[in-house]
């Protein structure tokens, strides 16, 4: 096991199932677990937009069983449509990845998170299809084949009031970056050392440059003198 403390984030390189007893009972679980869809293919294109680590995701060869996480008071789990039959009644957050752009490829246009408890189902629209992205543009590379936008995980944080936020399947650390930006206490666990190192680096950067992922607003359009006079 390796442990890194970065700001209010505590990160473990370990198997989360072996750490279950150490996770505080009052934690809010916010995670994107391996879905059990045997993700093997490389996606993300070539060059600067390609995924750095094109390897199988640990745990993704078997159907995901969410049972061990369901006793926590607050739970948000992505990919839940893939294991919906193992979940009790809850509510849904749909991520509309096209955000108004016409459908254009063979990948899913929507992803679903299951949220523990009663309430309204919600939609979050945020373009994120290959190189077409509403955020985290500017030549940054993708670090993980199933990497989520920081903006999406920030939206998830609005669904949970408790502390700490725990992501037991942290991947490249997107939930931790969202927590660092929001000033929320975070515990992340990742079994793969390569992704763990990436998560540490991204979370460190998020503390060092709090506005790193904030898109700069487009410069105001100049009113042409001619237009203004008309
Ligand atoms: C779907 S990915 C999460 C990607 C993340 N949302 C991101 O933005 O980078 C799931 C991650 O869980 C990790 N994982 C699988 N089984 C694990 C286990 N038992 N303990 C800790 N991490 C595990 C995998 O290595 C993988 O990186």
CATH number where 99 lies: 3.40.50
**Measuring CA to CA, which residue among 12, 92, 17 is closest to residue 62?**
17
Length of the chain: 230
pLDDT at 46: 39
Give me the phi and psi of 195, to 5 degrees please: -70, -35
Using most ligand atoms within 8 A of CB, pick from 32, 58, 154, 201 the residue to mutate for ligand 1.
58
Q: What pLDDT shows up at residue 139?
A: 58
Q: Which residue's C-alpha comes closest to atom 24 of ligand 1?
A: 58
* Cα of 161 from ligand 1 centre, angstroms: 23
- In the chain the first and final C-alpha atoms are separated, in Å, by 69
Taking the C-alpha atoms of residue 185 and residue 171, their distance in angstroms, rounded to an integer, is 18
> Atom of ligand 1 at shortest distance to CA of 144?
9
What is the rounded distance in angstroms from the CA atom of residue 159 to the CA atom of residue 177? 17
In the structure encoding, which two tokens stand for residue 225, read together? Answer: 């003198």
Question: How high is the pLDDT of residue 222?
Answer: 44
Distance 73 CA to ligand 1 centre (A): 21
CA proximity to 136, closest of 44, 68, 228:
44
Distance CA 201, CA 206 (A): 9
Task: List all residues whose CB is within 6 A of at least one atom of ligand 1.
Answer: 15-17, 32-34, 57-59, 144, 146-148, 168-169, 171-172, 174, 189-192, 195
Question: Is the CB of residue 158 less than 8 Å from the CB of residue 185?
Answer: no
Partners of residue 124 on adjacent β-strands: 95
Residue 161's CB is within 10 A of a number of other CB atoms, namely 9
Q: Hey, which of 35, 169, 178 would you mutate to test ligand 1's pocket, going by the most ligand atoms within 8 Å of its Cβ?
A: 169
pLDDT in the model for residue 223: 39
Do 110 and 94 form a contact (C-beta atoms < 8 A)?
yes
Total count of domains within the chain: 1
For residue 190, report the phi and psi dihedrals to the nearest 5 degrees.
-145, 135
Question: How far away, in angstroms, is 180 Cα from ligand 1 center?
Answer: 19
Both tokens of 220, joined, read 């105001």
Which ligand 1 atom sits nearest the alpha carbon of residue 60? 15
Nearest atom in ligand 1 to the alpha carbon of residue 35 is: 1
What range does the domain containing 78 cover?
A: 2-229
The predicted pLDDT at position 50 comes to 45
Q: How many of the other CB atoms lie within 10 Å of CB of 131?
A: 11
- What's the pLDDT score for residue 212? 56
Residues 6 or more apart whose Cβ sits within 8 Å of residue 164: 24, 27, 28, 184, 185, 186, 187
Question: Which atom from ligand 1 is nearest to the alpha carbon of 31?
Answer: 6
One pLDDT digit (tens) per residue for the chain, 230 residues = 999 999 999 999 999 999 999 999 999 999 999 987 765 544 444 343 344 445 778 877 788 999 999 999 999 999 999 999 999 999 999 999 999 999 988 889 999 999 999 999 999 999 998 888 999 987 566 788 889 999 999 999 999 999 999 999 999 999 999 999 999 999 999 999 999 999 999 999 999 986 655 544 455 444 333 333 33
């Amino acid at each position: 096991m390796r442990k890194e403390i970065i700001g209010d984030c505590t990160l473990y390189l370990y198997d989360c199932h072996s750490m279950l007893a150490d996770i505080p009972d009052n934690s809010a679980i916010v995670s994107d677990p391996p879905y059990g869809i045997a993700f093997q293919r490389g996606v993300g294109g070539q060059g600067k937009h390609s995924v750095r680590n094109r390897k199988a995701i640990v745990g993704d060869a078997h159907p995901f069983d969410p049972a061990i996480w369901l006793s926590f008071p607050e739970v948000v789990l992505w990919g839940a449509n893939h294991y919906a039959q193992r979940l009790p009644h809850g509510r849904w957050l749909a991520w509309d990845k096209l955000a108004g752009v016409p459908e254009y490829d063979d990948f899913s246009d929507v992803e679903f998170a299951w949220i523990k408890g009663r309430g309204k189902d919600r939609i979050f629209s945020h373009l994120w299809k290959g190189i077409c992205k509403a955020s985290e543009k500017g030549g940054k590379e993708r670090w993980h084949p199933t990497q989520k936008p920081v903006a999406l995980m920030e939206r998830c944080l609005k669904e949970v009031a408790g502390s700490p936020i725990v992501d037991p399947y942290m991947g490249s650390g997107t939930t931790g970056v969202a927590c660092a930006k929001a000033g929320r206490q975070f515990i992340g666990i990742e079994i793969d050392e390569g992704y763990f190192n990436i998560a540490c680096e991204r979370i460190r950067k998020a503390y060092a440059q709090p506005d790193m992922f904030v898109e700069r607003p487009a410069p105001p359009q100049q009113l042409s003198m001619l237009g203004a006079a008309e």
